[in-house]
Chains A and B, each alone.
Chain A
């Protein structure tokens, strides 16, 4: 008898769970227009003030632009650094019939290549990357982070009094490498005598290591620092403590250290998301590779209004931005 009760209870729970999910998918809107459904899978937290936050902010901006949650439905799975977990989430969203499934992580490429052909009616987007695998329902998007890096490198060289600038990176790949190379190039272009110390800590997430790397750079004489990836919050903390200047990337990092953050390169993914959604609504589900850069407004240098930046350095920065946009300054793309 007891066993029967347990079995019935378990079945009831399962039924309730399925019923609940069914309600959500059906939606309260029996309205004529179905909302555009976007799902995103990201490797770190969407409030990491870096990589994953940038795509989330972009999606929220798009949602507002397009009329709010009734017009655009957003689903987020974050913290899936492990590729298997992300692949499961991507496949899940595709199976649930989302219009656009965004795989925001270069490590998700192989998984996407396997999953996309199984769902020809779902549009996928892969970032940061430039390869659409020749599949008709895959978009690719990346950031020319070397451009913003270059601009800030120029300003860093101009601001540095000690003549040493430090860069804290995670692993020398992809977006991180692009940014670091761009920044270093900017420093050298502005002032070849400035020393650039680059430290790839070997981890995207080890905050303690990033903090100690920042200390080591400061010990080597750096009075301006920059870095990329979500572990960088540790380095910013140390910069704040030691009164060293900071340039941020991927998101506006001003609030982490309002006194010493000079500027951040902010990604506005909505610039390319808009285009993707337009194409999807017209029936083209993929095949385009997008790049956000200074010219199309996808990258913006957000100056910290609370930081007292000398006017000539700010002008230097803005001139450099203009130079990159009109092509008179060519930023090296890594090497």
Chain B
């Protein structure tokens, strides 16, 4: 066990945990916006997959990583528009339509992959970006400040998201629409408009999360996300609909997964316990959820479509 607590191992474990949390964080912050305004989007995983494929295909065909990110965001926006139309205008049952979008994204991304790419070829992701000065700090420098730009972007979303939600008029509108859409409507806030905005933004971020995953891994595969989008939705609940809480949840999940991997590599977790250990990130997150959710309640209008005068 002493081998685990060496500086080199701890540094790489934390760095690895941060990398693992990145795609969850993008999707979960995006979903936070949507849920805060009252819309549940369970299609996140499907949108991540479409964004991942979009970015992968763009890079594979020489478009470059930045264009790939733009493509992923665009794909996310389009899917978000469809989801918003279904949930807000058509007022469909949000949980079910979300699953529908998930299946659509899963199937379409795989179909496009098989038809347009066939056998997977690797791509290069963003290079490691060392933050000057900070990256040279002992221990902490390697852990936190020598990652690729997508990792930094994901974590930057947290203060930005918190600021928007809590300190801007837009954030106020989002929150009011999620808590009491009738009151917001009376005050002249366009409930539908706000919800379209948050769902589309959330989906764009989910697409970006998928792109981050594909470019970091350097490959695409059928069902690349393997359910990450659903974990991301759970993390929103875990984070009590607050960006900082969501970050804490993503970090918990990513770091636990990373610690488990490291312990397995060092032989500290024996192979016989390997499946039990693989459950740990999910189990811990559920436990933390049980403890945390006592204190916060969800946005009052979550999953409830709004119709003036209804």
Instruction: For A208, give its contact among B113, B217, B267 (CB under 8 Å).
Output: B217
Question: Could you tell me the dominant secondary structure of chain B's interface residues?
Answer: helix
CA gap between A320 and B14 in the complex, in Å:
41
A103 CB to closest chain B CB (Å) equals 19
Check: B73 CB closer than 8 A to any chain A CB. no
Q: Interface size for chain A: under 10, 10 to 19, 20 to 34, or 35 or more residues? A: 35 or more
Instruction: For B274, give its contact among A200, A207, A237 (CB under 8 Å).
Output: A200
Q: Chain B 45-88, CB within 8 Å of chain A: the 1/0 string? A: 00000000000000000000000000000000000000000000
CA gap between A48 and B20 in the complex, in Å:
22
**Are the C-beta atoms of B122 and A200 separated by less than 8 Å?**
no
**Are the C-beta atoms of B271 and A208 separated by less than 8 Å?**
no
Check: B31 CB closer than 8 A to any chain A CB. no
**Are the C-beta atoms of A205 and B278 separated by less than 8 Å?**
no
B111 CB to closest chain A CB (Å) equals 10
**Are the C-beta atoms of A47 and B119 separated by less than 8 Å?**
yes
**Are the C-beta atoms of A49 and B119 separated by less than 8 Å?**
yes
| Residues of chain A with a CB closer than 8 A to B130's CB | none
State which residues 197-253 of B face A: CB under 8 Å.
213, 216-219, 221-224, 226, 228
Instruction: For A79, give its contact among B110, B217, B271 (CB under 8 Å).
Output: B110
**Are the C-beta atoms of A200 and B264 separated by less than 8 Å?**
yes
State which residues 1-59 of B face A: CB under 8 Å.
8-9, 12, 16, 19-20, 23
B276 CB to closest chain A CB (Å) equals 9
Instruction: For B267, give its contact among A197, A202, A207, A219 (CB under 8 Å).
Output: A197
Known: A197-B267, A216-B12, A257-B122. A207 touches B275 (CB 8 A): no
| Residues of chain B with a CB closer than 8 A to A234's CB | 217, 219
State which residues 200-225 of A face B: CB under 8 Å.
200-203, 205-209, 211-213, 215-217, 219-220
CA gap between A234 and B265 in the complex, in Å:
16
**Are the C-beta atoms of B20 and A208 separated by less than 8 Å?**
yes
| Residues of chain B with a CB closer than 8 A to A49's CB | 119-120
Q: Chain B 253-274, CB within 8 Å of chain A: the 1/0 string? A: 0000110011011110001001
| Residues of chain A with a CB closer than 8 A to B8's CB | 219
Known: A199-B264, A212-B261, A256-B122. A44 touches B222 (CB 8 A): yes
Interface-centre pick from B16, B213, B261 (highest chain A CB count, 10 A): B261
| Residues of chain A with a CB closer than 8 A to B20's CB | 208-209, 212
Which residue of chain B lies nearest to A199 when distances are taken between CB atoms in the complex? B264
**Are the C-beta atoms of A202 and B277 separated by less than 8 Å?**
yes
| Residues of chain A with a CB closer than 8 A to B120's CB | 47, 49, 233, 256
**Are the C-beta atoms of B122 and A201 separated by less than 8 Å?**
no
| Residues of chain A with a CB closer than 8 A to B228's CB | 208
Check: A316 CB closer than 8 A to any chain B CB. no
Check: A191 CB closer than 8 A to any chain B CB. no
Interface-centre pick from A198, A199, A230 (highest chain B CB count, 10 A): A199
CA gap between A240 and B217 in the complex, in Å:
11
A182 CB to closest chain B CB (Å) equals 15
**Are the C-beta atoms of A213 and B219 separated by less than 8 Å?**
no
**Are the C-beta atoms of A209 and B217 separated by less than 8 Å?**
no
Check: B309 CB closer than 8 A to any chain A CB. no
| Residues of chain A with a CB closer than 8 A to B213's CB | 208
CA gap between A201 and B264 in the complex, in Å:
8
**Are the C-beta atoms of A209 and B224 separated by less than 8 Å?**
no
Further contacts, 4 of them, CB under 8 A, given A200-B274, A219-B12:
A45-B113, A200-B264, A233-B219, A256-B122
A-B contacts, 21 of them at CB < 8 A, read: A45-B110, A45-B113, A47-B118, A49-B119, A79-B222, A79-B223, A172-B271, A197-B266, A200-B278, A205-B221, A207-B217, A208-B216, A208-B228, A209-B257, A211-B216, A211-B217, A217-B265, A219-B12, A233-B217, A233-B219, A255-B119
- Chain B positions within 8 Å of A, measured between CB atoms, are 8-9, 12, 16, 19-20, 23, 110, 113-114, 118-122, 213, 216-219, 221-224, 226, 228, 257-258, 261-262, 264-267, 271, 274-275, 277-279
